[in-house]
Amino acid sequence: MPLIPIDAINGRIENEIRNVLDSEAHLSGFNQVNHAIEFLISDAETFAAVQVDTRDSFAADMVSGLSARHKQLPPKYFYDATGSRLFEEICRTDDYYVTRSETALLRNIAEELAAGIPQGAALVEFGSGESAKTRLLLDAAPQLSAYVPIDISADALDQASAMLARDYPQLSIAPVVADFTGHFHLPAAADGRPRVGFFPGSTIGNFDRDGAVRFLQSARQIMGDQAALLVGVDLVKDEATLSAAYDDSQGVTARFNKNLLIRINRELGGDFDPDAFDHLALWNPVHSRMEMHLVSRKDQIVNAAGHTFSFRSGERLHTENSHKFTIDSFAQLAARAGWSVANTWISDEPRVAMFRLEPIPGRSAVI
Ligand SMILES: C[S@@+](CC[C@H](N)C(=O)[O-])C[C@H]1O[C@@H](n2cnc3c(N)ncnc32)[C@H](O)[C@@H]1O
């Protein structure tokens, strides 16, 4: 069991307690109280195993998504322990250029990005995963005092935090297990420090346009009016390159997509047969996005969470969108959320971009 630094534990405990105090719904508040108590009595070793219980929302989202006329599920449920590991495997395939291009870009511009990070700042990363790219920033910016990785996957977060604590002993590491589309607070490690947000990996592309604006507004509110935000964005490119990235020749993305059904089986008592569905990746030019679907190979009935769902042969379950931007379309989106583009860097082909966003003065972050 990895040893977790005390700041990390404090950050997690603090967030749990704040969640309880903030809870509006009586019932979910009750669950959260239980969870917080469980958390508080755990010691440093059991801390690593504590997870935020997302099962209730998973069941609710699954039932409503599979009951809709166009069946769909939010991509955040991809990331159980297996899903996080499969995503890391996708990043290592030749076809998934996003990681390769963004990592090379970050390596080239790390000094420039670091120059914009104030002394004693906290780096706050949204959807940090294995925090691999982050190391390029941490190495270039020794003036950072704290690192706050936020991720919905406790497994990925615990592993990454333990490795970073070993490799960056001078840094205060305060991981937060949270759904960044929901309500959460930054831990004490970020209090009173200048803050720089980091949102790489084209994860912002998973939101629809309004969802992305809401996320950027909420990030501004969470980070404060003085914060900067570094966002990694995938750019529109030829369809062949895009399609290969979401349907790699080794079939890792197909396994990642189908793992959602395996997760439903395990966590929600489902009886999906993953082999009865095909992975489909397609370019949607109207919305400028890659889409991932699971396509039913036959007429079939599936049970999960006490509900029954019927699939026609060829019917699709829509599992992910990955929106692709131009420099202008992303700047317009950011402006809607009260951020202006202070700087833009573009990688070599296949091209991705990194934006440094700063709050537009006088524009409130109220959502
Ligand atoms: C596309 S991966 C990017 C990982 C890493 N940042 C990178 O650049 O390679 C998305 C990451 O965001 C996390 N994630 C997805 N949806 C989330 C949500 N709603 N709240 C918190 N984390 C989320 C996933 O667990 C995963 O680690």
Q: How confident is the model at residue 367 (pLDDT cuts 50, 70, 90)?
A: low
The mean-pLDDT minimum among 25-34, 285-294, 351-360 falls in: 25-34
| 79 Cβ closer than 6 Å to some ligand 1 atom | yes
Residue 206 near residue 57 (C-beta atoms within 8 A): no
Q: Would the pLDDT of 47 be above 80? A: no
User: How far, in Å, is the centroid of ligand 1 from the Cα of 323?
Assistant: 15
> What is the percent of the chain where pLDDT is above 70?
84
| 76 Cβ closer than 6 Å to some ligand 1 atom | yes
Closest Cα to atom 11, ligand 1: which residue?
Answer: 127
Using one digit for the tens of pLDDT, what is the confidence trace for 325-337? 999 999 999 999 9
**Strand partners of residue 151:** 177
| 184 Cβ closer than 6 Å to some ligand 1 atom | no
Closest Cα to atom 27, ligand 1: which residue?
Answer: 129
Q: How confident is the model at residue 122 (pLDDT cuts 50, 70, 90)?
A: very high
The first and second tokens of residue 337, run together, are: 């959320």
Handedness of CA 280, 302, 308, 81 (dihedral sign): negative
Q: How confident is the model at residue 206 (pLDDT cuts 50, 70, 90)?
A: very high
> What is the percent of the chain where pLDDT is above 90?
82
Q: How confident is the model at residue 93 (pLDDT cuts 50, 70, 90)?
A: very high
Residue 201 near residue 346 (C-beta atoms within 8 A): no
| 133 Cβ closer than 6 Å to some ligand 1 atom | yes
Using one digit for the tens of pLDDT, what is the confidence trace for 13-29? 454 444 444 433 333 33
Closest Cα to atom 6, ligand 1: which residue?
Answer: 128
Q: How confident is the model at residue 366 (pLDDT cuts 50, 70, 90)?
A: low
3-state secondary structure at position 242? helix
Using one digit for the tens of pLDDT, what is the confidence trace for 246-280? 999 999 999 999 999 999 999 999 999 999 999 99
User: How far, in Å, is the centroid of ligand 1 from the Cα of 180?
Assistant: 9
Q: Would the pLDDT of 317 be above 50? A: yes
Q: How confident is the model at residue 40 (pLDDT cuts 50, 70, 90)?
A: very low
- The structure's pTM equals 0.88
pLDDT of amino acid 1: 37
pLDDT of amino acid 20: 43
Tell me the pLDDT of the chain averaged across its residues: 88
User: How far, in Å, is the centroid of ligand 1 from the Cα of 127?
Assistant: 3
Using one digit for the tens of pLDDT, what is the confidence trace for 141-187? 999 999 999 999 999 999 999 999 999 999 999 999 999 999 899 99
| 179 Cβ closer than 6 Å to some ligand 1 atom | yes
User: CB under 8 Å to 25, separation ≥6 — which residues?
Assistant: none
Residue range 290-314: average pLDDT?
98
Q: How confident is the model at residue 97 (pLDDT cuts 50, 70, 90)?
A: very high
Pick the closest to residue 317 from 75, 147, 115 (CA basis): 75
Q: What is the Cα–Cα distance from 268 to 196, expressed in whole angstroms?
A: 38
User: How far, in Å, is the centroid of ligand 1 from the Cα of 128?
Assistant: 6
Choice from 88, 152, 202 to test ligand 1 binding pocket (greatest atom count within 8 A of CB): 152
Q: How confident is the model at residue 362 (pLDDT cuts 50, 70, 90)?
A: confident
Taking the CA of residue 83 as reference, the ligand 1 atom at the shortest distance is: 25
Length of the chain: 367
Q: How confident is the model at residue 363 (pLDDT cuts 50, 70, 90)?
A: confident
| 82 Cβ closer than 6 Å to some ligand 1 atom | no
User: CB under 8 Å to 76, separation ≥6 — which residues?
Assistant: 152, 179, 181
User: How far, in Å, is the centroid of ligand 1 from the Cα of 238?
Assistant: 25
User: How far, in Å, is the centroid of ligand 1 from the Cα of 354?
Assistant: 17
| 152 Cβ closer than 6 Å to some ligand 1 atom | yes
Residue range 109-125: average pLDDT?
98
